[in-house]
A and B are shown apart, each in its own frame.
Chain A
Amino acid sequence: MLTRRLIVCLDVKGGRVVKGVQFEGLRDVGDPVELAMRYEEAGADEVTFLDISASSEERSTLWEVVHRTSERLFIPLTVGGGVRTADDVGRALRAGADKVSINSAAVARPAVLTECAERFGAQCVVASIDAKKDGDRYRVYTHGGKRPTELDAVAWARECVERGAGEILLTSIDRDGARSGYDLELTREIAEMVDVPVIASGGAGNAEHVRAALREGKADAALVAGILHDGVTTVGAIKELLRESGLKIRGSE
């Protein structure tokens, strides 16, 4: 039986790790390679690098960082941010990523998901969706949560899977960085609808929030960042709570 996963996200900019609050106000918290390895040792099930570089100069350091990380990290590494084409995905995989998440580029041209799935397999194509509550629905945003689209998040998630995405990384813009808990309604709605794993993201303030995302939100995995980087809690403490609560979790070795 598959275990639920705890995924640690490192926001990377210019080759360094930062964590934004509501995608703004960045603070430098360290070296991506060392941090990724530390989280593997701590029992994280996966690591995600989200590249939030604004310029191509900043981004050019990313592939080198991915390469160095992949040589020392022996759990899955997902890379996202600024990936536009199937060739970009190929470059990321070559550099050392195991999976690639695609966000704005998929909204601009949904066929890119199919192209990537056919070339590299659905298991390495992650559709990243940033959603914000808008009345009684959820609206999809692109460009780091800044640009609204006409897409409904639930319908868009379904389309991403139909087009070949093997996982959905679902971020609540309202909750991101707020530490008030994941958006359980949004997470559950999409997790119950699609047949691929859903990773809940945005809003973790403590271990109980992670448990709620997996249990009430029905997510397969939860993405956690700031509360770990800031030392509010640890991978071990979160996993212990999940295990005590009866969720199937990979144990520490």
Chain B
Amino acid sequence: MRVTLFDYGAGNLHSLEKALASAPGVEVRVMEDPVKALETDVLVLPGVGAFGAAAARLEPGREQMRRALLDGLPCLGICLGMQLLFDGSDEGEGLGLGLFRGRVTKLRTRRVPHIGWNEVEEDTALREAKLGMAYYAHSFACRAEEPEVVVGWTTHEEDRFPAVVRKGRVLGVQYHPEKSSAVGVRFLHAFLEEVSS
């Protein structure tokens, strides 16, 4: 199975790359071109950076990527990668993929960023892997307009927001599975297994 990371900026991709590559039969590639990144069995949008810069890197291939995902290409968006699956963000200019309806807005909490280990509540994202506790590091959250896409929640202070969204084979996670220790790595493997079967 070919798994491709769309590399749209700075950030540590090594942990994610290795966590995915440790699943049986998986070959991981890293692509900077949003169109070439679509020549794959599974697309992963990794999660470090700012929305505006990432949306700009995505823009030349945005329509094609959107169409590929609507046509059934499995995809996992992590943190900022999840936010890119939505319409747009208050963090920066540019358009997201619009696969999930809603905007990304700043956390409505005193303490921002939300950094550390927090729960994944009501987690129905995958059949085989529940994280319980996951590592988050973000200042913005996805305000999903379609309640049925939210398959996991988390709460920071008084703000409750989606930890996981899912439509078919497209998942977005606000936490970092590649930084959530063994349960996170298990989640990545379970995701690959579920979307490829």
Contacts and interface: CB of A to CB of B under 8 A. Distances in A.
A120 B49 contact: yes
B48 A120 contact: yes
B42 to A, nearest CB: 19
B181 A253 contact: yes
Contacts, number: 114
Contact of A71 (B14, B53, B110, B156): B14
A97 B110 CA distance: 27
B12 A98 contact: yes
Given A45-B117, A98-B179, A74 B112 contact: no
A193 to B, nearest CB: 12
A119 B50 contact: yes
A54 interface: no
Contact of A196 (B48, B49, B112, B183): B112
Contact of A1 (B118, B135, B176): B118
B14 A121 contact: no
A86 to B, nearest CB: 10
A74 B182 contact: yes
B133 to A, nearest CB: 5
A42 to B, nearest CB: 11
Given A70-B14, A166-B113, A196-B111, A76 B118 contact: no
Given A123-B138, A124-B48, A250 B15 contact: no
A251 B182 CA distance: 12
Contacts of A70: 12, 14-15, 18
B117 A3 contact: yes
Contacts of A90: 10
Interface in B105-159: 110-119, 133, 135, 137-139, 155-156
B115 A166 contact: yes
B11 interface: yes
B5 to A, nearest CB: 14
A74 B19 contact: yes
Given A3-B118, A74-B178, A221-B116, A93 B11 contact: yes
Interface in B1-42: 10-12, 14-15, 17-19
A5 B135 CA distance: 11
Interface of A: 1-3, 5, 40, 45, 67, 70-77, 90, 93-99, 118-124, 166-167, 195-197, 220-221, 250-251, 253
24 contacts: A1-B119, A2-B156, A3-B117, A67-B14, A71-B17, A72-B18, A75-B180, A76-B137, A76-B176, A76-B179, A93-B12, A96-B12, A98-B15, A98-B48, A98-B137, A120-B50, A121-B80, A122-B113, A123-B139, A124-B137, A166-B139, A195-B112, A220-B116, A251-B133
Interface of B: 10-12, 14-15, 17-19, 48-50, 53, 80, 110-119, 133, 135, 137-139, 155-156, 176, 178-185
